[in-house]
Amino acid sequence: MQNDGCRTPDIGKRGGTMILAKTGNEAMAYAMKQINPDVVAAYPITPSTEIVQIFSNYVNDGLVDTEFVAVESEHSAMSACIGSAASGCRSMTVTASQGLALMHEMLFIAGGLRLPIVVPIASRSLSSPLNIHADHSDSLASRDSGWMQFFCETVEEGYDSLIQAVKMAERTSLPAIVAIDGFILSHCLERIDVFEDKKIQDWLGPYKPNWNLLNLDKPILVGPATLQDYFFEFKRTQIEGMNKALPIVQKVMKEFKQEFGRGYDVLEEYKCEDAEAVILLMGSACGTGRAAVDRMREQGKKVGMVKLRVYRPLPHELLKQSLSKFKHIGVLDRADAVNSYGGPLFTEVTSLLYNVADRPKVLSYVYGLGGKEFAPEHAEKVLEQVLLGKKDELVTYVGVR
Amino acid sequence: MNLKKKGWQELPCGAIIEDPGAVLNNKTGAWRSMRPIWHEDKCIHCLLCWIYCPEASIIVEDGKMKGIDYDFCKGCGICANVCPKKVHAIDMEKERK
């Protein structure tokens, strides 16, 4: 057994059985060890390289039963996962940025075949210019591929979410991406409270596929050609899979909380009870948002933060209920949609609020591209503007010189 | 065959086809623009055409070439190409509809 860190007296306070100091990458690899998938096919890419590297050590040391496939590209990694998942195996890969972009074609195939492949990613910008640091342009560019997407604020949340995602994916027959922000989470050491391997494996149970390509007793055809007469009907079934996913995702979150003593919601409000202005965020910047809200609350300003954890399935009703309570909202995107008026999250939030009678004023912000610093001061400046409910530019590019 | 088309709610998850051999209902021979013509008198039954045919359209019985299944042959011409030059038992002709 490798040295997993030291035991400390507050074990169990957050539901776990061992406190470890782990970076985001180490924590994701550790969760993968505990999930013990049947197949991992992967190709390394910064900043998620370590996840695969550490996991391959687990394979080498015989700590997992996984068949590890070293492939020649991310396109092949996703293809191998599709093949193994179609053959009834619990399958995972790991990637980021250009790697996810190279998988793009195969992401749609996994989505269309309804294969519950789970992929942790360390979110990173897309070239060009080349940059290896955090933003959400990789996962958000894969938005329409039929994958669930979860964004995590902390390392521990990443660890928990990856375990949950396996169950969510298998229950919904939808593949899932679990995103931790590159470097900000992937390379920063945090204290996490982990659970026992056996407890996680018991909770997940064995993978029971809907169908199995290798089942000779029940031969089936996988990946048929469907033309004008059937393609749309099959797509409609896939869309319905995502439409019905949210309650299943919520149920798994609840079950996780019951079993392990800590948990999350799809959408979380922070100091929003009497708030007049809130910011909506995803990922590690939520921690920054909390700090800014705390500072401004000390000054008596009625501000809050809404954290969105689940981007697909989009909890549009919950978002509408939550956001329509406020007068002013600032939506912060860590990616741009290059449409001259806001990022992907902003455009979805504004459109889902459009039919609300007394709809709030929504301001558009893009922040932190390529790992650009987003400090509490930046978030405070945004919140000041959101309180006023107006700004000069349509889109504000936070911190850009 | 006149099959009633299924609505989306009747379709299986993941677009799998649960009836094996469903391709038999979807004859693709009409796609052909060139048609292979087999000359039985010249054929030496080496079965190279059977090995190479990508559509399994070479009909073989008791180890002997018996003809071409025009319901599925797409007229790619691979059979004519792999047929030994000295034998020349398959010619490609323009398809007439």
- A:160-179 residues touching chain B, CB 8 A cutoff: 173
Average pLDDT over residues B52-64: 96
pLDDT for res A115: 98
Per DSSP, what are the bridge partners of residue B91?
B37
Higher pLDDT, A301 or A1: A301
Is A274's Cβ below 8 Å from some Cβ in B? no
- Cβ distance A112 to B14 less than 8 Å, yes or no, reads yes
A220–B11 CB contact, under 8 Å: no
The full 3-state SS of A277-306, as one line of letters, equals EEEEECCCHHHHHHHHHHHHHHCCCCEEEE
The answer to whether the beta carbons of residues A279 and A329 sit under 8 Å apart is yes
Please give the DSSP secondary-structure letter assigned to residue A389: T
Where does A214-299 show beta strands of DSSP type E? Answer: 267-270, 277-281
Give the strands of the sheet with A118-123, arranged side by side: A67-70, A39-42, A91-92, A118-123, A176-181, A148-151, A310-312
- Binned at pLDDT 50, 70 and 90, residue B21 comes out as confident
> Which residue on chain B is closest to A112 by alpha carbon?
B14
For A184-205, the DSSP string reads: TTTTSEEEEEEPPHHHHHHHH-
Q: What is the pLDDT of residues A135-156, one digit of tens each?
A: 999 999 999 999 999 999 999 9
For residue A276, name the pLDDT band (cuts at 50, 70, 90): very high
pLDDT value of position B96: 81
Q: What is the pLDDT of residue A146?
A: 98
Contact yes or no for B15 and A210 at CB 8 A: no
Interface check for A233 against chain B (CB to CB < 8 A): the answer is yes
Q: For A116, which residue in chain B has the nearest alpha carbon? A: B14
Dihedral sign of CA atoms B19, B21, B27, B33 in order = positive
Among candidates A221, A232, A236 on the partner chain, residue whose Cβ is nearest the Cβ of B22:
A221
**Banded model confidence at residue B4, pLDDT cuts 50, 70, 90:** confident
- At residue A22 the predicted structure's pLDDT band, cuts being 50, 70 and 90, is very high
What domains are there in chain A, each with its CATH number?
18-204 (3.40.50.970), 269-397 (3.40.50.920)
State the burial class of residue B33 (Cβ atoms within 10 Å of its Cβ: 0-12, 13-18, 19+).
exposed
Band (pLDDT 50/70/90 cuts) for residue A3 is very low
- Span A217-238, mean pLDDT? 94
| Nearest CA among A21, A3, A9, A2 for reference residue A194 | A21
- Give me the mean pLDDT over the B37-60 stretch: 97
Report, as an integer, the average pLDDT of A347-365: 96
Among residues A322, A329, A300, A332, which one has the least CA distance to residue A389?
Answer: A329
Q: Do B13 and A237 touch (CB under 8 A)?
A: yes
What does the pLDDT average to over A300-329? 98
Question: What is the C-alpha to C-alpha distance for residues B84 and A106, in angstroms, rounded to an integer?
Answer: 41
Contact between A303 and A337 under an 8 Å Cβ cutoff? The reply is: no
For tokens 């920063």, what's the residue? A188
Question: Can you tell me which residue has the tokens 């649960």?
Answer: B18
ipTM score here? 0.85
Confidence of residue B97 (pLDDT cuts 50, 70, 90): low
User: What does pTM read for this prediction?
Assistant: 0.91
Given a contact cutoff of 8 angstroms between Cβ atoms, the answer to whether A366 and A398 are in contact is yes
In chain B, where do the E strands start and end?
A: 34-38, 58-61, 64-68, 90-94
pLDDT band at B24 (very low <50, low <70, confident <90, very high): confident
pLDDT of residue A123: 98
| Nearest one of A64, A36, A68 to A204, comparing CA atoms | A36
Q: How far apart are CA B52 and CA A40, in angstroms?
A: 35
Structure tokens at A367: 């922040």
Does B1 have pLDDT greater than 70?
no
User: How much is the pLDDT for A398?
Assistant: 97
Q: In the prediction, which pLDDT does B25 show?
A: 83
pLDDT of B49 > 90? The answer is yes
Number of A to B CB contacts under 8 A, please give it: 52
A109 and A80 in contact (C-beta within 8 Å)? no
Burial status of residue A128 (CB atoms within 10 A of its CB: 0-12, 13-18, 19 or more): exposed
Q: How far apart are CA A112 and CA A181, in angstroms?
A: 27
Q: Which of A226-230, A397-401, B81-85 has the lowest mean pLDDT?
A: A226-230
Cα distance between residue A120 and residue A32, in whole Å: 9
Least confident residue range of A197-211, A334-348, B14-28: B14-28
Q: Which pair of tokens denotes residue A158?
A: 């990443």
What pLDDT is stored for residue A29 in this prediction?
A: 98
What confidence tens digit (pLDDT) does each residue in A158-173 have? 999 999 999 999 999 9
Going by C-alpha positions, the residue among A135, A122, A126 that lies closest to residue A23 is: A122
Contact of B14 with chain A, judged by CB distance below 8 Å, is answered with yes
- Interval A40-68 mean pLDDT: 97
B4 contact A CB<8A: no
Query: Can you name the residues that pair with A389 across neighbouring β-strands?
Result: none
CATH fit for domain B42-97, picks 3.30.70.20, 3.60.60.10, 3.40.50.2300, 3.40.50.150: 3.30.70.20
Residue A11 confidence (pLDDT) above 70: no
Number of H helices, E strands in chain A: 13, 15
**3-class state of residue A161 by DSSP:** helix
Any alpha helices (H) in A87-136, and if so which ranges? 97-112
Minimal C-alpha gap between B14 and chain A (Å): 4
Quick one: average pLDDT of B50-72? 96
CA distances in angstroms from A360 to A305, A331, A386, listed in the order given: 15, 12, 11
Pairwise CA distance, residues A27 & A4, whole Å: 11
Cβ atoms < 10 Å from Cβ of B20: 11
Position with higher pLDDT, A52 vs A5: A52
- A250/A309 Cα distance (integer angstroms): 11
Q: Where are the domains of chain B?
A: 42-97
The arithmetic mean of pLDDT across residues A179-207, rounded, is: 97
For residue B9, list chain A residues with Cβ-Cβ distance below 8 A: 237
Instruction: For residue A120, list its beta bridge partners.
Output: A178
Q: What is the pLDDT of residues B64-84, one digit of tens each?
A: 999 999 999 999 999 999 999
Q: How far apart are CA A133 and CA A122, in angstroms?
A: 9
